[in-house]
Chain A
Amino acid sequence: MNLKFHNKKITGILTVLPENEVNFDDEIDNYNFSKGQTMKLKLIMGYNKRRVIKKGTTVSDLCIFGMNYLFEKNLLKKDDIDALILVTTSPDHFMPPTSHIIQGKLDLKQDIVCMDINQGCSGYVIGLNQAFFLLEQDEINKVVLLNADIMSTKVSKNDRNNRPQIGDGAAITIIEKDSADNTIYGCVKTDGKGADVLIIPAGGFKLPSTPETAELKEDSAGNVRSLDHLIMKGDDVFNFVQREVPKMINDLLDKANCSKEEIDYFMFHQPNKFMLKKLADKIGVPYEKMPNNVVENFGNANSVTIPTVITYNLGKKLLKDSFLICMAGYGVGLSWASMLLSLEKLTFCEIINYK
Chain B
Amino acid sequence: MENFESSITEILEVDSVELNDELDSFDAWDSLAVLSIIALCDSEYKVELSRDEIENSETVNGLKELIKSKM
A interface residue numbers (CB < 8 A to B): 34, 36-37, 40-41, 44-45, 160-161, 220-222, 233-236, 238-239, 242-243, 274, 278, 281-282
Which of the residues A34, A222, A243, A274 comes within 8 Å of B27, measured between beta carbons? A34
User: Is B43 in contact with A36, judged by CB distance below 8 angstroms?
Assistant: no
Do A37 and B32 form a contact, CB below 8 Å, given A235-B50, A235-B51, A236-B50?
Answer: yes
Chain B residues in 8 Å Cβ range of A233 = 51
Contact assessment for A161 and B42 in the assembled complex, using a CB-CB cutoff below 8 Å: no
B66 within 8 A of A: no
Interface residues of B in 28-44 (CB under 8 A from A): 28, 30-32, 34-36, 38-39, 42-43
Q: Mark B20-63, 1 if CB is under 8 A from A, else 0.
A: 00000001101110111011001100001111000100000000
Known: A34-B27, A37-B30, A281-B43. A274 touches B35 (CB 8 A): yes
The contact sample of 18 A-B pairs, CB cut-off 8 A, is: A34-B27, A36-B13, A37-B32, A44-B32, A161-B31, A221-B31, A221-B51, A233-B51, A234-B51, A235-B35, A235-B51, A236-B50, A238-B38, A242-B48, A274-B39, A278-B43, A281-B43, A282-B43
Which residue numbers of B lie inside 8 Å of A, CB to CB? 13, 27-28, 30-32, 34-36, 38-39, 42-43, 48-51, 55
Q: Is the interface of B mostly helix, strand, loop or mixed?
A: helix
Chain B contacts for A161, CB-based, 8 A: 31
Other A-B pairs, 10, CB within 8 Å; known A235-B50, A278-B39: A37-B28, A222-B30, A234-B31, A235-B51, A238-B38, A239-B38, A239-B42, A239-B49, A242-B42, A282-B42
Chain B CB within 10 Å — which of A36, A233, A239 has the most?
Answer: A239
Shortest Cβ distance from residue B36 to the other chain A in the assembled complex, whole angstroms: 8
User: How long is the Cα–Cα vector from A215 to B30 in the complex, in angstroms?
Assistant: 24
Chain B residue, CB-CB nearest to A220 = B55
A160 to B31 Cα, complex, angstroms: 10
Interface core residue of B30, B48, B55 (most chain A CB under 10 Å): B30
**In the complex, are the beta carbons of A243 and B43 less than 8 A apart?**
no
Query: Could you say which residues of chain B place their CB within 8 Å of the CB of A160?
Result: 31
Whether A238 and B35, one on each chain, are in contact in the complex, defined by CB atoms closer than 8 angstroms, is: yes
Q: A282 CA to B28 CA in the complex, in Å?
A: 26
Q: Across the interface, do A36 and B28 meet the contact criterion of CB distance under 8 Å?
A: yes
